[in-house]
Amino acid sequence: MRNLCVILADQLNQEISSLNDFDKDIDEVLICELKKNFIDINHHKKKIVYQISSMRHFGKELDAQGFKTNYLKLDDPKNQNSYSSEISKLVQKKDIDRVIVTESSTHTEMKSIQGWQKIIGRKVEIRKNNLFICDTDEFESWAQGRKELRLEFFYRMLRKKHDVLMDGNQPEGGAWNFDKKNRKPLAKNTSVPEKYACVIDDETQGVINLVNDEFSDHFGSTDDFIFAVTRNEALEALHRFIEERLICFGDYQDAMIAEDPWLFHSHLSMYLNNGLLKPKECIDLAEKAFYESKVPINSVEGFIRQILGWREYVRG
C-alpha cells in the first residue's frame, strides 16, 4: 500500500505521527505553502518569513534523509491554494492508496481535513497530534461533569500524571504554583543576556524577498530577521534559554521595558507552535536544570506552567 503523508504547516517534526511507519521505498510526503494561511489575518511579515522558511528547510531535511517529498511553494503558478486539490493530483499521479495526516491544531483546518476523503476518493487516516502532551479526548474526559474548567486543576492533573516537578505525591517546593513570586519589576542595573540570533542563509533570504513581494500590504518589516528556522537552531535557542535566562525567568516573568523586549523571556513559543521543538523536551531540560540546582523553583515552575498548563489547556 502506497501512502501519501500530508504534513501541515505547524507539524515540522520528523517524529510527527503521520510519519510513523513511513516506508521510504514507496510512501510520499506532501508539504504545501498555502497563501490562505497567511492572509486569514494581517500577519506580521517576520512571522510569515519564519513560517515559510521553516517549512522549506524542513522539506530539504526530509529530502536529504531519503523521504520522497512533494513540496508546493507559495509562488508556484500551479498552486491552487488548497490541500485537497494538490492531494487529488498526487493520488492520480503517484497511484496513492491512502492519505495519512496528523490532526490539525485548528478547528477550521480540521473540518476541512474531515472532508478530504469525499473529495479525493481515497481513505484518509487522521492520526492523533503527538506535538501536544494532552490528547483532545483526554481533555474532554477531564472536563466532563465539571462546573468550571479551571486551568489550575487541569495543570495539577497533568503534573501528577506525567510526574513533572513532583516529590512523591506532592509538588516540589510545597506548592503547585509560584506565580505570586513571578511579578517583580526589573531591578536596576540587571544584566540581561545577549539575545539569541541566527544567521540568514540563502533559503531564508529568498523567503524574505518573496514576503516583501507577496505580502507588501502586511504590517511590520522583514529587516533584522534573527529567528531559528531549523530544528537544530531551535534546539540551540532552547539550550541557550535554559543556560542563560531560566534562572531569572520566574522573578521577571511579567516584566516589560521598552528598551529591551527580550529580557529573560524564553521566545520559544513559535518553535513549539510549528513543531521545531517538542513540549516534553522543553519541560525535561527545565526540570533537569532545577534538580541540578541551577535554577530556582519559581523559575522552572513558571516556565513549565506555560507549556504543560496554558498551552495544553488552551488547545483543549
The pLDDT assigned to 108 comes to 93
Q: Given this model, what pLDDT does residue 187 score?
A: 87
Residues 127-158 have pLDDT tens digits of 999 999 999 999 999 999 999 999 999 999 99
- pLDDT (average), residues 2-13: 98
Summarised one tens digit per residue, pLDDT across range 270-306 is: 999 999 999 999 999 999 999 999 999 999 999 999 9
pLDDT tops 90 at residue 223 = yes
Q: Is the pLDDT of residue 259 over 90?
A: no
- Residue 164 scores a pLDDT above 90: yes
pLDDT at 315 over 90: yes
pLDDT reading at 220 higher than 90: yes
> How many residues comprise the chain?
316
Residues contacting 77, CB < 8 A, separation 6+: none
Report the pLDDT value the prediction gives residue 188, as an integer from 0 to 100: 86
**pLDDT band at 229, cuts 50/70/90?**
very high
CATH architecture for segment(s) 136-193+245-315: Alpha Horseshoe (1.25)
The whole-angstrom separation of Cα 120 and Cα 85 is 8
CATH of 3-127, one of 3.40.640.10, 3.40.50.620, 3.90.1310.10, 3.90.1150.10: 3.40.50.620
Domains 3-127 and 136-193+245-315 belong to one CATH topology? no
pLDDT at position 176 is: 97
Domain ranges of the chain: 3-127, 136-193+245-315
The pLDDT confidence band at residue 100, using thresholds 50, 70 and 90, is very high
3-state SS string over the chain? Answer: CCEEEECCCCCCCCCCHHHCCCCCCCCEEEEECCCHHHHCCCCCHHHHHHHHHHHHHHHHHHHHCCCCEEEECCCCCCCCCCHHHHHHHHHHHCCCCEEEEECCCCHHHHHHHCCHHHHHCCEEEEECCCCCCCCHHHHHHHHCCCCCCCHHHHHHHHHHHHCCCEECCEEHHHCCCCHHHCCCCCCCCCCCCCCCCCCCCHHHHHHHHHHHHHCCCCCCCCCCCCCCCCHHHHHHHHHHHHHHCHHHHCCCCCCCCCCCCCCCCCCCHHHHHCCCCCHHHHHHHHHHHHHCCCCCHHHHHHHHHHHHHHHHHHHC
Confidence band, pLDDT 50/70/90 cuts, at residue 181: confident
Q: Look at 7-21, 33-47, 173-187, 230-244 and tell me which has the smallest mean pLDDT.
A: 173-187
